[in-house]
Every structure is written in C-alpha cells, then in structure tokens.
Structure 1
Amino acid sequence: MASSLYCLKFVYLLSFLSTIHLAAVPSFSFVQPLCHGHERSYLLQFKESFAIINNNKSISFDPSAYPKVASWTLEGNNSDCCSWDGVECDKSNGHVIGLDLNSSYLYGSINSSSSLFNLVHLQRLNLADNHFNHSQIPFTVSNLSKLTYLNLSNSTFSGQIPLEFSQLSHMSSLDLSYNHLEIKNPSLGRLVENLTCLENLDLSLVNIISIVPNMLANLSSLTSLRLYDCKLHGEFPVGIFKLPNLRVLNVRKNKGLTGYLPDFQWKSPLEEMILASTSFSGKLPATIGNLSSLTVIDMYKCNFSGFIPSSLGNLKHLNFLDLSYNTFEGHVPSSFGNLIQLSFLYLSQNELTGPIPFELENLTQLTGLFLYFNNITGQIPFGLMNLTKLSILDLAGNYLTGQIPNSIFNLENLEFLDLSSNDFTAKVEFDKFVKLKKLTSLYLSDCGVSLIIGETSDNTTLQKFKNLGFGGCNLSKFPDFLANQDELTWLDLETNNIHGQVPEWFWNVSKENLEVVILSYNFLTSLGQHPILLPWTRLAILDLRSNKLQGTLPIPSFSTLQYLVSNNSFTGKIPELICNMSSLQVLDLSINNLSGSLPQCLHNFGDSLLVLDIQRNTFEGSIPQAWTSGSKLMMINFNQNKFQGWLPRSLAKCIMLKALDFSNNQFHDTFPTWLGNLPNLKLLILRSNKFYGPIRTHKAKYKFPSLQIFDLSYNSFTGSLPLKFFQYSNSSRLESAKELTYIQVTSTFHMQNSLQNYLWNFEYSYAMIMINKGVVTDYEKVQELFTALDFSSNRFTGDIPKSIGNLNLKGLRLLNLSNNFLTGHIPQSLRNFVNLESLDISQNKLFGEIPQQLTQLTFLESFNVSHNHLVGPIPQGKQFNTFPSNSFEGNPGLCGSPLTKKCESYEVSLPSPTTPEKSKDLGSPFQFGWKIVLIGYGFGLVVGVIIGQAVSARNHDWLMKTFGMRKLVR
C-alpha cells in the first residue's frame, strides 16, 4: 500500500508542477510555448535514422497504420514540434513528454546513441508495431528516468532485456510483448523489483525460462499481469491471486508452470483469469463464485479435475468460460443457466456425464456451445431453439440418443453444427439442414443416422458449404449436389456403402479450396478418368484406405501432408512425381500390389516425412542409400517385400527414428550395430531375412538405449546371445507410467477459417507382426510398456547368461530363444522378469532341471522347454499347473505332471561337449512344425499391453478412429 501511495504522489507531483507556471501568469496573456529547439533536432535525427515503408504488412499489422513522422518537417509554418503527429509537449514548459509512434511503418535498427534517449523529459513512449530489425533494446533507455509508460510490443526487438530497466522506478505500464526478447541476466525478479509503481506488465512471448518470482506478489499497484508463452516453470505464487488491484492475469501457454487455485475468501477485482495450456491442477474451489467481477475464465488444457462447482453460476458478468481439455467429471451444473451474459461456453474433452441441462436455454447471448468428447447422455434439449444467436454448436463424441430434434433447424444463425459420433437413431433429411441458410459446416459422421439426400437437394441447393462430414451415414453414392460446391475445404464420406467408380465430376469439386478428402472404408473399385496429378491445389489429406481400388497410384497435390492409400489393389511402380511432395508427413502405401524399385528420391522427404509405410507389397531391389541428417522420420516399415542387399548405413543419421521393420525380405547383411546410437529407437524387427554372423556387443558406443522390442528371428546370426545391449536400456522407465500409451507418431494438421480453428492430430500407431506361441499374430497397436525379445531360429551358441534376470528389462513380456544351439542350465534369475507372459526356450541343447523359482512368474501364460536335455521333476503349482504336456516333450529325463512319467528316481545325464551340428533344415523358417495361424489374436495378456486385431465395444468417434482427432475451436 505504501508503494501505491508513493506512485500516486509522483503522478500528482507531475500534475502540480505542470500548473505552477500557469498560476503565475494571467489567463488573458497565456501563449502555449513552442517546443525547444534541441528537442526538435533530436526528433528530426530520430526520424532520419529510419526508413519509412508504407503499406507493408511485414512492418505493421494494423490496418489503420500510417507514417506519423511524415508530418515532422520544418517546411512552412510547421517548425513547432509540439504540433507534429504523435508528439505531446508539456503545456507549461514546452518539453516533449510523450511520443506515440505506434504503427508508423518505422523500419531500421535503434542503438544506444539514438537521439531518442536525449529526450530526458519523456514520460510516455509508444513504439509498438514497427520493425526495429532485430536490434537490442539499448541500455540508454535508463536516460528516460521519468518514464511512466513504455510500449515496445510487436516491434521486432531481440536479445536480452537490459538491466537498466530496473532503474525506471516511476514506470506504471511496461509492455515488451511479442518480440524476440529474453530475460536471463538479470532475472525477472531483479528486473522488476524496483518498479514498485507497476500497474501493467506485459512480457508475453519474452523467453524467460524461470520460475515466477514471489516478489511479483508485492506489487500492490498491479492491475494487469500478462506472461503468455514465456516458458515459465515451477509453482505459481498463490499470493499473486491476492493482489488487491489485479484485474487481468494471463499466464497462458506455460506448460511447465504448476499451481492451484486458492480458497477465494476475499473480495477481488479480477476480471480475466487465463491459465490455459499450463499445468495448473487440483479442484476448482467453490469460492471461485466469489470473484464477482470475472468476465473471462480460460482454463483450457490444464490438469484440473473433480466436479465443476455450481458456484460458477454466480458470476453474472461472465462472458467467456473455457474448462475444456481437463478431467472434470459429473454433470454440467444447471446453475450455468444463470450466466446470462455468456457468449462462449467450452466444456469439451472432459469426463462429464448426465444430460445437457435444460437451463442452458436461458443463455440467450450464447454464440458458441462446445461439449464435444464427453460422456453426455440423453437427448438434445428442445429449449435450445431459444439460443437464437448461436452460430456454433458442437456436441460430437458423446452418447446422445433419440432423433435430432427439429428445434435445431430453428437456429437460423447457426453456421457450424457437429453432431458426429453419437447414438442418434432414424433417418434425417438433408433438406432440413439446407433450411439453415447460414450453415457452412455440417458434421454428421458416425452419429447413428441415415442421411437422406433427395433429388431436390441436388437441384435446389445453392448453399455453399465449407466442411461436410458424412462418414457412416449409410450413403450409397456420391451426393450429386457436391458437383456445385466450389468453397468446400473438408469432405468426409468414409465408412459408407459407396460402390464402383468415382464419378468424373468429382475431380472438379472445389479445386482451389479442398484441403481434406476422406473416402476410406467404402467399396470403390476405380478412380475413373482422373488426371495423373490430382487437381486440388491446397490438398493436405488424401485418405483412400480400405477400398478395392485398382490401377496406378494417383498423385495428390505437392502440398499434401498425409497420403493414405493402404489396403487396396493398386499396381505398378511408385511414380517419380511423388518426389515433388516436399511437405509430406505420412506416406502409407501398405497392403497393395505395388512393385518395382523405390524412387531414389525417398530420402528427400527427410525434412518433413514422419512415417514411411510400404509393407506388404512386392517392391524389390535395394533401399535408397542417401538418408540425410536432420531427418524427422520416426517410423519405417518395409515388411513383406522383396528387398535385397545391405541396409543403408545412412539411416543412422535419422536420429528421430522410433520403429524400424525390415522383416520378411531378402536382406543379406550383418547386424546393423551402427543403429545403436539412435536415442529413440524402441522397435527393431529383422525377422525372416538373410542376416548372418556374430553380433558384436562389446562396443560401448553402440548402446540401443531405448530398445524394447527386438526381433532377430529366422536369420543366420551366430555367436552368443546379444543381451549386453540391454545393460544400457532405459525402457524400464515406462513402468511407472500412469496412462497406457501406444508407440505412435502424431501428424498435425491445422485448418483455420472465419468460424473456428481446427487442430487435427493423426495418430499413426505402429502395427507389427510377431510370432507368439507359434502363431503369427498381427498387432494393430503396441503399448509403450510392451517389451519383447525374439532371438529364435538362428545359430546362437553358448549358455543363457545367469545374469539375464539382472538386465534392465523389468517390463519384459515375451522372451523367445527357441531353435538355437544354446547349452547349459536354465538360469534361476529368469524369475526376476515378473511381468513375463510368454517364455520359449525350446529346441536347444539345455540340460539340468527346470528351476522351481520359475513358479513365481504368475503372469506366465505360455511356457515351452520342449526338445532339450532337461531332467528331473517339472515344477508344480500356480501357472505350471496350466501348461500342456507338449510344453515339455522331447526331454526324456523330465517327469511329473502333465507328463505321464512318474518321478520315482532319475539320474542327471549331461550331454557330451561336442560341437553342435548344423540343423539340416535351418533354411526353413518353420522347420519345427509350428502351427501357423495368420492374423491370430495375441496370447491373452493379463494386463493388456498389446492390442491384437483391435476390437472396440463401440466405434466411439469417426474422427478418433480415422485421425485420433483433437479439435480446438477457439
């Protein structure tokens, strides 16, 4: 409070000094003084140090911008600088005390010798929205010791904010936002600790990278604190919420910033509380309803949980409420019906249940209602027709039932409607939506209705749509009215009953605007007479997956981000034109009949490509060798082709790689030890090739630090088991993960128009094939927790190390060492793999007893030690009582259940130490008569760490299924 009184006294003193001279002079003789000559000179020098670039959007973003300094001239009667545009003088003494040059098209650098800093009487300085060419803020700003207002926002300054700012002790408003500035030395605390008069502080986008200093809670005059996207971290000081004059608090987009909301047992003038995209957590206190001045609450994408307090309904001035992307549960409070000033209500992506409260019909000022991706049930309230100002209604991804109410068709201002992924019933006529003349975005995909598009719709629809989602709407043909659409940006017709050929007119639909085309999961057989290069110049996503399409590959726009044509019957080579798709993020050509060699340009995609999936085709030849550093590739799948030769060593430069699958080809090479420095590589599958030779694990520089799925089966590797790689593994760090996540890559597509911004996340989950219990199993998704080693069907020799159980593989679920030439005892330390579910060490030359300690593996569902030289009693109890007799056959010395041989007496018989003969049938990958069941299910995992042939109880959302979509409508 003392600092506030001091600041007020300073302001009053300036006003008093401005009037002393006036009081001494009779009013009839008053003549406003001209500006001082030396200050006029300083101003002209300042003007001459910049170029004035008119009407350039890179210099100014303000449509009302104009070059204010153009009036600064000595020509004619214009020598009084106090009359110049943007200049303010003290009326009593003529000194320049204010300079407002915001949006003045100034371009050029500013340095410490600038004449600006000679204007020592300046109290207010505004240079916002100009272009100072990335120059630093000069330290001589401290010369302007009387400054109370400084705005340098959005003016292309860069570098460290000078410590000299701390000397401007009279500053009440400081705005340095939207530049390229940083605060390292001094810290934020040191910078502002002397600025005790601060009322407004805006450091948005300043790179601070520190905690929020507690001393900010001492700035009792502070009315506005904006620290948007400053890379702040640590716990937010709760005392800032208690500042007596604070009206605006904005710390949005500081993901490392934690904190909680206090119990608001005091009166506060707070009007805007913006905590979005931080890590604030906990429950919302019921006392938040005491903040009666609030107009904006933005808690988008935080970690808040619990029930939404009904006391929010007390905030009668609230205009904007966003609680989306948290984990709130329970019902939407009926008290929200009291928020009669509310314009936007965001409750999306939570865990809310129950019906939409009918009290929302009182929100007559509402223009946007967002409830998507919750667990809301019941029917859409009829009273929504009262919301006549509603322009956006998004109820997607819930469990709403019944018919789509006719009251929706009375919302005459509706422009955006998303009802997708619900449980509506019956048929709905498209003509009803056409009556909403302002409607441009309509999403009905997977909402349970059959859409009826009559012939009259085709003839009478003059309406121009921008987004149409008709997936799963039981359509049998392409809607003819699409032929007249030229503003369409998004079109989804997936999962319908559309057969045959794509109509020729389709290739002319919205050529200049279409960004997303989804035709997947239909029965299309031909693309018809399409141009080789598809005509949509802005196309970002082309999804033709899971049809019956034949012919050569179409080539979409060079701007395409995601090209998805898997599970069709395309033939021929990959056209060379694909090399021009320089923005491609996901290329999925898998499960087709494509052939020939790969274009050598594939490595050119390194700057953008995240996923390359060409599995299950008949490509041949060698893989392009020149993969470049800086590549963003995360997943490569070449499974089941006819590739030959060596693996390209340049893949070691692709440091972002998570998954590499070269299985079922004809590669002839040694083990790629050189991949061992890839820090993110989780999955390496080399199964069924012609790899050979020993695997060198003694080179410490090759550590495979993240490897957790390692399949070398059906090759000709020799020497000892390559287990030393896992001395360095950090895969066990995932054991403490709270949520089950998949090995996947997220490709992001951002689409924006006048109504909403959409952030679409295409989550591409890695799919793999592994042999488990003798079954070839197709896993559509792989959990991050899953760890598996398959070294089977090679020529490995020597003992299984006793230390195997001490490896850093606590999450190991599958271990297959079968069909090798391993000798020695079964290590007791295997008991340490407490999550092990499948253990196969059959078809070796192991001897001795089966360790009793293996009965401690309580998750073990499959166990096979057949065809070895084992002796003694089979362990009894727990999981061992469930294994069939063929798990132990081919060991004449074993006895006990489930074998018929009783354990009366036995002698330990060790095999002679002869060199093992080569297996006569080693060239055959299935030499021991495995029963192969293609695309079978997994081995019944107790903890469900793999999804095989993914089965869903409910197709929750077409967008989640297709894109793993996350929407942001802001």
Structure 2
Amino acid sequence: MESFLCYFLFIRLCFLLPLVFHAIVTNCFSSIQPLCHDDERYALLQFKESFVINKTASINPLAYPKVSSWKLGGEDRDCCSWDGVECDDDTGHVIGLDLDSSCLFGSMVSNSSLFSLAQLQRLNLADNHFNFSQIPSRLSRLSKLTYLNLSNSEFSGQIPSNISQISKLSSLDLSSNDMSYHKSLKNLVQNLTNLKVLSLSYVQILSPLPDILANLSCLTTLYLQGCGLYGEFPVGILRLPKLQVLRVSNNQDLKGYLPEFNSSSPLKILSLQITNFSGKLPTSIGKLDSLIDLDVSGCQLSGSIPSSLGNLTNLISLDLSYNTFKSSNSSLSWVGRLSKLTFLALGQIKWNMEIPLYLANLTQLRCLDLASNQITGQIPSWLANLTQLTVLRLQDNHLQGPIPSSIFELKNLECLNLYSNNLSGTVTVDMFLKFKNLTSLLLSWNNISFLPNTKPNVNATLNKFKILGLGSCNLRKFPDFLRNQDQLESIDLSSNNIHGQIPKWVWSTSKETLVYVDFSYNFLTGFDQHLGDFPWPRIQILKFYSNKLQMTLPIPPSSTLIYLIGRNMLHGEIPPLICSLSSLRSLDLSSNNFSGTLPHCLGNFSSSLNKLKLRNNSFRGIIPQICSKGSRLRMIDLSQNRFEGLVPRSLSDCRMLEILNLGSNQINDVFPSWLATLPELKVLILRSNGFHGVVGSPKTNFAFPKLHIVDLSANKFTGKLPSEYFRNWKAMEKIDVDDFTYMKSFTIIVFGYFTLFEYFFYSMRIVNKGKETEYRQIIEVFTAIDVSSNEFEGEIPELIGDLNRLQLLNLSNNHLTGHIPLSLRNLTELESLDLSQNKLSGIIPPQLTQLTFLASFNVSYNQLTGPIPHGKQFDTFENNSFIGNSGLCGNPLSKKCENPKASPPPPSSFKKDQDSWFPIEFDWKIIIMGYGSGLVIGVVIGHTMAERQQWFVRTRKRQRRR
C-alpha cells in the first residue's frame, strides 16, 4: 500500500513539474523587457553613422554625444537601454528618441534610416548642427509623432508642408532655424487640432496669422517671435481657455489690441515686445493672477498705465518700455508693491523727475532699466542697496554730476549703461576693476573724459568686455587696453577726435567675436592694411559714417546686416561683390563721390533690406528694379544723383515703403500715379526732375492713404492742381493724435546674450520758409505740400482748406489765377505759406491773420490788390512778402492806401461761410470803387470786418430793391 502511494505521488509530481517549471519561467521572463527589434537597432546605428561628433555642433555647455553609448554587440546590444532611446514596455518598439544637445554634425538626408522608426512618438533633435540641410518631406511618415522638436539645429530652406499630415502632434518646435514657410500658416496647422505647444520663432513666415489659431482649444504655448508676421492679430487667441504662454515679439508689422481679461485666464507669460499692438492697456489685466512675465515694450500702446498692475504680485518680470503712454510721474508708486520682481524695465514712460525712492523696495531686482525718461538729478546712493543687481540701464536721461562711488559697491554688476546723459568728470580704466563680472560698459554721449589706465599692469587684471561704449569720451587715439580685449562683441568709439588711419592691431582686436563696430564721426582717413578678406568674419553692424575715408568701397563679410559708410570721400563704382551681402537690412552710401550705374543685384536684397540711402553721389543711368514681391523696403533715397529714364514700376511691390525720395535727378516720366496703392507711403519727394504732364485724378478712392509730405516742385507738371488727390490725403486732415515722435524704423540684432535695437531715423531735404532745409529727423505729425516751380494753372481749390494739419504749403512759381481762397483760414497749423509768382488777384483775406503759427508768408509778384491785413503774425512779415503787387498798399509796403478812381464793379459770386455771408471773389478794389462817395469809402476802411460784412449785405439788398 505504501509503495502504491509513493508511486502515485511520483506520477503526480512528474505531471506537475513541467507546469511549475513553465510558470516559473513565464513569470521570470515576463519581468524582463524584451530586446529591441533588430530592424530598429540597425536603423538607429545607421542614423548614428550618418553624422560625426563635433562638440561645436551644440551650444548647450552641458552637451555631450549621447550616441556614443550605441553599440551593435555585447551587453549593450539592447537599443532600449541606449542613452536617449525610449521603448514601449510591452512591444519593445522604439517610441522615443531624445538626442537634444548631442553634438551631432552632418546633413539630414531624405532616405535617412530615422524615417523607418514607424512607431516613433517623440523625437527631439534640438541643438545640433544639421549643416543647413532641409527637413526631408519623408518626416511625415512618422505619423504617430506627438512631440517633435527640431529647434536650433541649423536646418534651412522651406518647412515641408506635409508636416500638417502628422495629425497627432501635440507639440511642434521648429524655432531658431534659417527656415521659411511661404504658404499660409493655416495650411500648416489646420490638421493639427491636438496642438498644445507651437513654436516657430525666427522662422520666416511673412504672412498674417490665420484665425484658425483661435480654434486650437488645447493650445497652452505659442511662440512666434521674429517671424515677419503682419496684418491683424486674431484677438481670439488671447481668449483661448488653456493658453499659458504667448510670445509674438519682434514682429513690428503685426497689429492688434489687448482685449478685456477675466480672472479665469491661466496666462503666465505675455510677450508682445516690438509689435504694432495699439490701444490701451486694459485695467482688467490686473485680474491675471497667474501672470509672472509681462512684456509690452516697443509697441504703440497709449493712455494711462493702469494701477491694477500692482495687483499682479506674482510678477517676476515687467517691461512697459517704449510705448506712448501718458505722462505718469508719481502714478507708478504701485510698482513698489511688486516685491518678487527680478526684472523691471520702464523705459520712455515720461517720468521727468528724479529716480523714485519706492524702487528701493524691490530688493530682488537683478535688472533695472529706466532708459529714456528725462530723469533728472544725480544717480542716488540708495541704488547700492539693490545688491542683486546685475544689469543697470539709465541711458538717455538728464542725469547730472559724476558717477557716484556708491555705484562701485554693486559688485555683481555685469552691465552698466549710462549712455547719453549729462554726467561729467574723468573716468579711468582701473576704476572698474572692482566689478569682477562686468562685461558691458556704456559711457558714450556724456561729458565724460575717458583716460588710459593709471595703474601698472592694469591690462592684465582688466575684465574681458563684451560690450564697450566710449563714444564722445574725448579720445584722441584708439585706447591701448583694447589690444588685450579678445571677447568684444560690440564697440562704440564714435564722435571722438581720432585721426588718421585705423591701425593694424585694431583689426586683430576680438577678431572672431566682433558683431557691432561704430567708428562714426571721427577723422579716419583709411585702413593701415589692404583688406583682401575683411578681418571681422562675424560682423553684423558696421558704421564708418562721417569720416574722411578716401578709397573705393570696402565690402564687409556676408554676415553684415547694417552698413553705414555715408559722408566720406569714397569714390569709384559700387563693386559687384556687394551682391554677396544677401542679408543686408540697411545700406547708407550717401554723400560720397561714387559714380557709375547701380548693380542690378540690389533688387535681390528687397526681401531683407529695410533702408537704402544713396543720396548725394554721381550715380547715373536707369534706376534698377529695386523691389520684388515680398519687399521689406521702408525707405528709398536716391536723391541728388544723375538717374534718368522712368521710375521703375517695380516700386509698386514695395508694400511697406514709407519714404521715397527721387529728388534732384534727371528722371523723365509722367506722374507715377500707380504709387497711390502703396498703403504705408508717408513721404513722396520728386522735386527737380523732368516729370511732366497732367497729374490728373487718382484711380482709386483710397489713393496715398498715409501720405502727408509731398514735394513735386521744380518739374514740368501742367493742368490744374490735383484737387482730387487733395481730397484723398486724409493723413493731412486733423485727427485726434498727439504723436510728436520721429519717423523711424528699427532693426533687432541678437548676438550672444544681448539684444540690440538699432533705430534708424528717416531724413529728407525740402524747401521751408524759402530756404532748403535738411531734416535729419522727421516728426510724425509734420505735413507739407510743395508743388512750386511747375506750370500748374487755374484756381486754388477751396478743398485744400480741408487739409487742416498742413504746416507747409508752397504753390509758388506757377500760373495760378483767381483769388486766395478763404478756406485757407482753416489751416490752423500752417507755419509757412508761399503763393508768390503766380497770377492771383483780389485781396489778401483778412481772416488769414487767424493763422497764429504762420511764421513765413509770401504772396509777392502776383496781381493782388487792397490793403495788407494787420494783426498777430501779419505784423511780423517784411516787405519781401508783398512786393510785386502794384495794387497792394499799407505796411510794410511804402505805398499808402488812398482813394482810387471809381470804376464799375465786375459781377461777384456769393457763398455762405459758417454763420455770415461773404463774397468768394471778394475784391477790396471792387467794393470801394462800385459803391459811391468818399464818405462810404472812409467808413468801409475804418470799420471792423464784421461791420464790412453787414455793410456789404445792406448794399446788396438796396441793389436788389432797385
């Protein structure tokens, strides 16, 4: 029995052992992640082999080559354990690839093995160097991607439009690459309805923002900085329920306004820096409790700064600079409550007072920017209590006195900007040795004298500067301490007294790092070496303006964005090598001795070029086709040359053009009426050319919608004055603006950790008050019409009085007839009126004495009659204003007003003017000769204008009764 039982148990055990073994094995292996699939392992290794490892390919200082751990055999053959590789726990498929900052260098080819990883859901290749290759369109084969980051990886070319087919994407980042997208952004995002993060910063989109973005209800983050966006910003984006971060800065043609906000908004970061947002900053912005970063600098915001901003106690960064806010003075005391602020910029908010003490409460500040505020007094000593400060910007104010010793107690300072104040005293290099971290020092445009070092071996211990501004610091030579500076990115030595050639050692200073150089307004005559290859390969801004350089045009590297070398003695033709400057944004070669024709390649620059200034040279020939579709040109000045032929029709493609100056050339053309379609044109100067024919009427009701300075003088225009154009020039009618800023554009240059805003003020030359005047800066509200020295005929149209913002009106030296229209009294802003050398008749309307700003008045050499009006400004005008009119009498002329012989009056026409009747063709001579005795004459002369009007009406009634 016992043997049978043992046998039975043995048999059971034999059956159970395989089952137990299977369970143990199954349980054991189920806890081990499967090895990655062979095809995916080989695809990853092939992808690795298509690149080389180069430490300079990544910017991140913590970058390292993650793919170094990828191996084919041995213990590391499981690709799921490789650095940067993520696999699915169940299937073993590669679903994530994180190779950001991996030092990869090489081109991304269209047949890359990367695109065979069909299960990939997350791909991050940011901060590598893909050798300016294009993103292959086969990327769309990775249809399961939810996360894609190719930012800052040196891709170029067009973004493949089929990225929109990767419909599961919730995060897309293609920012900071030299790429563009020429189709509507709507095509790119219309299928990406799951997007939470969209970042296309510094990708050239050059289009309006589509309304469809306001339908992305999942969107939390939107980065679109520096994309060349224009048009109207869809306000619905700011109302998206989950939006936390919005950055659309550095799109200066992007218009918009801020809506009312509610407390449910999760917005944390709002950056509109350097856009064309306008209107008011709404009081309801104080409801955004989550806001930590608000930047609206460089916009067109107006009105008062709302005190409700003081409720945003979580703010860490606040920048309200460079808007058109109303004067605030002490109304910003709420700023002292924002105790978490580490960054505060309040530039150009019109303080006009001393630095307020309530800023001393902000002890966490690392950056304080109070630029352009007309701040008075001295730099306060309590600034030394802000011990965390690394950046102090007080430039462009009215600060006085020496730089206080308390400033040197801010041991953490990295940037000290005191540019353009009234600071005085002597400064030496060794004074700044206390600042161990100081890399940015700007002292330009003060009353400071900068002296060489006074301590031995100071150059050995001096900081390595990155930004150095010593303009107008009474320098007589290039400072010797610059010899040991090898990390400079920006140097300003302008407006000093430096003579002679630029020494060889200067060209070697910071040769590999310099981006900005300004040697303008000195007495430099040339270079101390022949420049075969320009010595600063990374240069972006180069200014040699107003020196005494005598040479042919030196061509800087292709990296150059701004090149100002006007007002020198350069000669010869523009070399074809200038065509290599394909990224040029501003070119000023004015006031030199250049000759020859312009290279046709100038038209290739129009997609990047903002300003072209070639005035006052001897260029000749036909003006090339400067503009093409998508042109970004805002200013073209070709005046004072010898250009001939027709105005190039390609100018109609310059849709952003604000100022066009073709004056003083030999152009032979009719009036370029087709320019009327340019929506932004504000200044048009065609003076002193061979323009001819009738100006005629515009072909659209919206001709020249923003034009407010017109100079057609000294041509051969005929026919009547262009009254229909006058009717369209609404920008010359008074509107509710108080804009006394100057016409300008600016360029944004980002280099290293610094952003430079390069302002360029528009300029022009016109005749004002009888003298040719150069306006180096043009106030936005200045308005002028000059059609003098042509062959216009007929009467001065009454409707010219509707242009009541006019400050300058010159109709002289034509064949105009009729009377001076009474409507001119509506031009209440008028400062200069010249109607001389025409055939005008009748009286000078006494109502013109109401023009209290009139400083220059000339009606000489016409056929005017009657007494010269007196009172207010008219009492200041001299004899030359009235000579050549035999019928005029009274001061300042020597001819006294006497009783002339009677003669029958010609018929007069009447028109009701406001609340009284007055003859349109009112002629003093007609009235006194046609209506009787000397007694009546004496009464008329002696009475006020109101009495004259009553007398005239009574006389007409008596005439009717007869």
Q: TM-score normalised to the size of structure 1?
A: 0.69
Match of 2:864 in 1: 870
2:794 equivalent among 794, 799, 804 = 799
Distance 1:473 1:646 in 2: 45
Distance 2:366 2:32 in 1: 53
1:765 equivalent among 748, 759, 762 = 762
Match of 1:732 in 2: 731
Deviations 1:727-763 (A, max 9, x none): 684452775373536785535261412xx32223231
CA contact (8 A) 1:59 1:129 kept: no
Distance 2:357 2:333 in 1: 8
Match of 1:468 in 2: 468
Distance 2:717 2:274 in 1: 52
SS at match of 1:425: strand
Shift of 1:202: 5.0
RMSD, matched Cα? 5.4
Shift of 1:774: 3.1
SS at match of 1:152: strand
Match of 1:450 in 2: 449
1:892 equivalent among 872, 882, 886 = 886
SS at match of 2:149: coil
Match of 1:151 in 2: 147
Match of 2:834 in 1: 840
Distance 1:70 1:505 in 2: 48
Shift of 1:811: 3.9
Unpaired stretches in structure 1, ≥5 consecutive residues? 1-24, 911-970
Deviations 1:903-922 (A, max 9, x none): 66654799xxxxxxxxxxxx
Shift of 1:797: 5.7
Match of 1:968 in 2: none
Distance 1:599 1:518 in 2: 28
Deviations 1:761-814 (A, max 9, x none): 2313222131x44333333333344443333334x264226x462698554433
SS at match of 1:901: coil
Matches within 5 A, 1:687-766: 687-688=687-688, 691=690, 694-695=693-694, 697=696, 700=699, 708-715=708-715, 717=716, 719-721=718-720, 723=722, 726=725, 729-730=728-729, 732=731, 735-736=734-735, 738-740=737-739, 744=743, 746=745, 748=747, 750-753=749-752, 756-766=753-763
Distance 1:296 1:174 in 2: 24
Match of 1:396 in 2: 395
Matches within 5 A, 1:581-596: 582=581, 584-591=584-591, 594=593
Deviations 1:143-181 (A, max 9, x none): x7xxxx93233389743776995xx8xxxx932343779
Matches within 5 A, 1:562-961: 562-567=562-567, 570=569, 572-574=571-573, 576=575, 579=578, 582=581, 584-591=584-591, 594=593, 597-601=595-599, 604=602, 607=605, 610-616=610-616, 619=618, 622-630=620-628, 634-637=634-637, 639-640=639-640, 643=642, 646-647=644-645, 649-650=647-648, 652-653=650-651, 655-656=653-654, 658-661=658-661, 663-664=663-664, 667=666, 669-671=668-670, 673=672, 676=675, 679=678, 682-688=682-688, 691=690, 694-695=693-694, 697=696, 700=699, 708-715=708-715, 717=716, 719-721=718-720, 723=722, 726=725, 729-730=728-729, 732=731, 735-736=734-735, 738-740=737-739, 744=743, 746=745, 748=747, 750-753=749-752, 756-770=753-767, 772-794=768-790, 796=791, 798-800=793-795, 803=797, 805=799, 809=803, 811-827=805-821, 830=824, 835-850=829-844, 860-872=854-866, 883-884=877-878, 886-894=880-888, 900-902=896-898, 906-907=902-903
What letter matches 1:601 in structure 2? P
Q: Check 1:587–1:346 CA distance in 2 against 1; reply closer, same or farther (3 A cut).
A: closer
Distance 1:509 1:59 in 2: 25
Distance 2:787 2:287 in 1: 62
What letter matches 1:432 in structure 2? M
Match of 1:19 in 2: none
Tell me, yes or no, if structure 1 residue 517 matches structure 2 residue 512. no
Distance 1:343 1:262 in 2: 25
CA contact (8 A) 1:352 1:375 kept: yes
SS at match of 2:161: strand
Shift of 1:182: 7.4
Distance 1:531 1:461 in 2: 31
Distance 2:473 2:383 in 1: 24
Matches within 5 A, 1:144-223: 150-154=146-150, 158-159=160-161, 174-178=170-174, 184=186, 201-202=197-198, 209-211=209-211
**Is the deviation greater in 840-849 or in 867-876?**
867-876
Deviations 1:480-511 (A, max 9, x none): 22233333332222333445665565444344
Match of 2:17 in 1: none
What letter matches 1:209 in structure 2? L
Match of 1:420 in 2: 419
Match of 2:124 in 1: 128
Deviations 1:326-370 (A, max 9, x none): 567445978877877655444444445655566767877654443
SS at match of 2:30: coil
Match of 2:490 in 1: 490
Shift of 1:607: 1.0
Query: Aligned pairs, how many?
Result: 829
Distance 1:633 1:269 in 2: 39
Distance 2:687 2:524 in 1: 34
Q: Check 1:354–1:34 CA distance in 2 against 1; reply closer, same or farther (3 A cut).
A: same
Matches within 5 A, 1:33-72: 53-55=50-52, 63-64=63-64, 66=66
CA contact (8 A) 1:440 1:466 kept: yes
Distance 2:29 2:557 in 1: 69
Shift of 1:557: 2.2
Distance 1:298 1:635 in 2: 29
SS at match of 2:725: helix
Q: Which has the higher contact order (CA 8 A, sep 6+)?
A: 1
Q: Check 1:138–1:685 CA distance in 2 against 1; reply closer, same or farther (3 A cut).
A: closer
CA contact (8 A) 1:606 1:633 kept: no
Unpaired stretches in structure 2, ≥5 consecutive residues? 1-22, 176-180, 907-962
CA contact (8 A) 1:792 1:816 kept: yes
Match of 2:369 in 1: 370
What letter matches 1:711 in structure 2? D
Match of 1:432 in 2: 431
**Is the deviation greater in 277-286 or in 831-840?**
277-286
SS at match of 1:902: coil
What letter matches 1:431 in structure 2? D
Shift of 1:444: 0.9
Deviations 1:62-98 (A, max 9, x none): 8456459967x8x89999997788777776xx35698
SS at match of 1:726: helix
Match of 2:556 in 1: 557
SS at match of 1:781: coil
Distance 1:869 1:358 in 2: 67
SS at match of 2:430: helix
Match of 1:543 in 2: 543
CA contact (8 A) 2:376 2:398 kept: yes
Q: Check 1:183–1:97 CA distance in 2 against 1; reply closer, same or farther (3 A cut).
A: farther
Deviations 1:814-843 (A, max 9, x none): 333333334444455555655444333332
CA contact (8 A) 2:372 2:396 kept: yes
What letter matches 2:775 in structure 1? Y
Identity %: 34
Distance 1:204 1:528 in 2: 43
What letter matches 2:448 in structure 1? V
Distance 2:775 2:240 in 1: 51
SS at match of 2:645: coil
What letter matches 1:440 in structure 2? T
CA contact (8 A) 1:234 1:257 kept: yes
**Is the deviation greater in 504-513 or in 360-369?**
360-369
SS at match of 2:807: strand
